[in-house]
Amino acid sequence: MGHSLLASFQRDGRRVTRPRKAILAVLERTRHPMSVSEIHTSLTRGKIAVDLVTVYRTLSVFKQLGMVSRVEFQEGQFRYELCQGRAHHHHIRCRGCGHIADLMLCPLKKVLAMVERETRFLVEDHSLEFIGWCPQCR
Ligand SMILES: [Zn+2]
Ligand SMILES: [Zn+2]
Ligand SMILES: [Zn+2]
């Protein structure tokens, strides 16, 4: 597990419980945004007994602390991935096989400035996910 992640957790006065450690470890092993049920399945396979509610709650704590980002591909569920060590980026998910690829750029930088100018809001976050067909499925 990444030491700086643990450190930021402890600085925040949170206890690093066994489920939290285990969920972090699952996210660190995986290179794509995972759904709550995928995380839960992976924990169960590793013989770690954590119920779904705990997985949900833990991910929402991680989100509040800025440790994970949340993405949504019109599946009716959120997916989570660790922010640490990864630049801000977007994703595309295949409708056929479910493969998710990173898009290592943000095409929205200029748009964000326009949104702020136009609305006088301060933009805190944004999402932009693509759905399509991968090279194997197209
Ligand atoms: Zn595919
Ligand atoms: Zn990603
Ligand atoms: Zn972006």
DSSP 32-60: S-EEHHHHHHHHHHTT----HHHHHHHHH
Is residue 73 located within the same domain as residue 32? Answer: yes
Ligand closest to 88 (CA) is 3
Predicted local distance difference test score (pLDDT) of residue 9: 67
Which residues surround the ion ligand 2 when the cut-off is CB under 5 Å?
Answer: 102
Q: Is the pLDDT of residue 115 over 70?
A: yes
Ligand closest to 135 (CA) is 1
pLDDT, tens digit (0-9, with 9 covering 90-100), for 78-107: 999 999 888 889 999 999 999 999 998 898
The domain in which residue 75 lies consists of 1-84
CA of 16 to the centre of ligand 3 (A): 30
Find, among 70, 101, 73, 69, the residue nearest to 86 by Cα. 69
Residue 117 maps to which CATH number?
Answer: 3.30.1490.190
Predicted local distance difference test score (pLDDT) of residue 2: 55
pLDDT band at residue 4 using 50, 70 and 90 as cut-offs? low
Q: Total structural domains in the chain?
A: 2
Ligand closest to 110 (CA) is 3
Ligand closest to 102 (CA) is 2
Is residue 10 located within the same domain as residue 71? Answer: yes
